Structure 1
Amino acid sequence: MTLKKHIPNLITLGNLFCGTVATIFAVESNFVGAGLFVVLGILFDFFDGFAARLLNVSGELGKQLDSLADMVTSGVVPGIVMFQLLSSKNISSFSDITDKIFLTGFNFELIQLLGLLLTLGACYRLAKFNIDTRQSDSFIGLPTPAMSLFVISLPLIQEYSTIEFVQNLLSNNYFLILITLLLTYVMNAELPLFSLKFKDYSFKKNMVVYIFLLTSLILIIAFNFLSIPIIIILYILLSILKK
């Protein structure tokens, strides 16, 4: 019984392990490695809840572990990725605030710190989620894993997309700062979003979810990494329409 009780917690620690490795890759600007371990961490995050329901075990410890692991995988990592993407080289109006900071061998530009708003927003959302009893069957505000996937996809799109317009957007700090502010807001907004959990598998009751999953599959096949932010925007729009 004791071992069964801790299986979901061990899976959650797998999420934390993946998030920690992803953090190391993100600091080194290895965005492919960071993205891979973020996806693995999110899979662990899904299966810990699945295992808890399957084994009929749950508790406050698991709930807190889940949020702490998510804070790394879906809070710290996207903040570091956006920190790495931001640069003052394309924005002359930021020239007065982009002096280099030199601390214990590290040097960076002040504008890059704006990327860490994602980490702060994720922390605030996870804390709210733990005390909000309304989010058992749906979400209020964008879940942190969705935000993390959105952000980690950006450098991969920048690297592998052949669409010049998209490349120009992702090289523009104004656009990156706008994304940062919007994602930070949407995570904590009073915005009802549907969950991908199934109580039953009838098409009538889950029509929006089935449409979303099918459309997502088509987008992934058609657009590769570019599909990820499109899917998350679609998720928000379908939730608004469903509401």
Structure 2
Amino acid sequence: MKNQIPNAITLLNLFSGCAAIINILDGQFIAAFWFLFAAGLFDFADGLVARLLNVSSEHGKELDSLADMVSFGAVPAMIYYTLLSIGYAGGATSVLAENLAPATTPAIVWSWAAAPALLVAMFSCLRLAKFNLDTRQTENFVGVATPTSALFATGLMLIYALNPFGWSDAVLSPWVLYPSILAFSYLLISEHPMFSFKIKGAKWAGNETRIIFAVLAVLLLIFLQTAAFPFIVGVYLIINLVSPPQTSAP
């Protein structure tokens, strides 16, 4: 029975991702954020519980990737698609406009102009298939992890929904969304080493990059609050591209 506990948690990740998609397409962006937050917690918890119970398996690894494909592959694609659709429809009132009125989100229908958003789902799928076979990614990542890609898209969604600093219209711009889609589609399958968040003990040595990044992330959260997430991901990418971690050969 205990062998199935991590798998059950993984399925909760999948449930949360599916719920997030429904809420995104319905224009319920704050609810979608919390479902994505839950998906991230379940994604972290399934591996932790599997290690604690000593029940890690190849079956669980594959199941985890399938759930991640929905929560961190399909979900960001739906976010980009929805934001592009709203933008091309002329924009809409953000969830927390000045009068606190609910958003008036246009119906999301098929649009070739928004279709490039689906590239993120496609390249997330390629990344997850590659990850399961890549023996280099035990300590650090090669290419951007799907949760990082999803966090960036989620941050854009929050900026649109909550309109911090009056930036809501900016994240509907094709000049923001198309480059973001192309950049993350590339980074998901790139060979750029990226540091993971596995802390090596409680010492500064060996954790310098992670600690510096954590401090910068906290500062961004303090100063930018709900607008911080895309900038946190941007700092993460800059640190990795300027000073990539060392990865061992397969």
Of Structure 1 and Structure 2, which has the larger fraction of its residues in helix? Answer: 1
Contact residue 39 and residue 149 of structure 1 kept, 8 A: no
Q: CA deviation at 1:11?
A: 1.3
Are 2:174 and 1:173 equivalent residues in the alignment?
yes
- Secondary structure of residue in 2 paired with 1:23: helix
Q: CA deviation at 1:168?
A: 4.4
Which residue in the other structure is 1:38 paired with? Answer: 36
Which residue in the other structure is 1:11 paired with? Answer: 9
Contact residue 31 and residue 152 of structure 1 kept, 8 A: no
- Secondary structure of residue in 1 paired with 2:113: helix
**Counterpart amino acid of 1:12?**
T
CA RMSD of aligned residues (A): 1.8
Q: How does 1:28-107 map to 2 (within 5 A)?
A: 28-87=26-85, 88=88, 107=109
Structure 1's 7 and 153: CA in aligned 2 closer, same or farther, altered over 3 A? same
Which residue in the other structure is 2:100 paired with? Answer: none
Deviations 1:61-88 (A, max 9, x none): 1100100000110011111111111143
For 1:65 and 1:108, locate their aligned partners in 2 and report how far apart those are by CA, in whole Å.
30
**Counterpart amino acid of 1:201?**
A
Residue of 117, 121, 125 corresponding to 1:123: 125
- Secondary structure of residue in 2 paired with 1:18: helix
For 1:107 and 1:41, locate their aligned partners in 2 and report how far apart those are by CA, in whole Å.
26
Q: Provide structure 2 residue ranges, at least 5 long, that are not aligned to the other structure.
A: 91-106, 245-250
For 2:108 and 2:170, locate their aligned partners in 1 and report how far apart those are by CA, in whole Å.
28
Q: CA deviation at 1:141?
A: 0.8
Structure 1's 28 and 133: CA in aligned 2 closer, same or farther, altered over 3 A? same
For 2:164 and 2:44, locate their aligned partners in 1 and report how far apart those are by CA, in whole Å.
32
Q: CA deviation at 1:236?
A: 1.4
**Counterpart amino acid of 1:126?**
L
Contact residue 30 and residue 161 of structure 2 kept, 8 A: no
Deviations 1:111-140 (A, max 9, x none): 111111111111111111111111011101
Which residue in the other structure is 2:97 paired with? Answer: none
Residue of 106, 109, 112 corresponding to 2:111: 109
For 2:109 and 2:230, locate their aligned partners in 1 and report how far apart those are by CA, in whole Å.
30
- Per mean C-alpha deviation after superposition, the further-off stretch among 15-24 and 197-206 is 197-206
- Per mean C-alpha deviation after superposition, the further-off stretch among 194-203 and 134-143 is 194-203
Q: Please, what TM-score do these two structures have when normalized by structure 2?
A: 0.84
Contact residue 35 and residue 153 of structure 1 kept, 8 A: no
- Secondary structure of residue in 2 paired with 1:32: helix
Q: How does 1:125-144 map to 2 (within 5 A)?
A: 125-144=127-146
For 2:137 and 2:155, locate their aligned partners in 1 and report how far apart those are by CA, in whole Å.
26
- Secondary structure of residue in 2 paired with 1:108: coil
**Counterpart amino acid of 2:56?**
S
- Secondary structure of residue in 2 paired with 1:69: helix
Contact residue 200 and residue 207 of structure 2 kept, 8 A: no
Q: Provide structure 1 residue ranges, at least 5 long, that are not aligned to the other structure.
A: 91-104
**Counterpart amino acid of 1:81?**
I
**Counterpart amino acid of 1:18?**
S
Of Structure 1 and Structure 2, which has the larger fraction of its residues in strand? Answer: 1
Are 2:151 and 1:153 equivalent residues in the alignment?
no
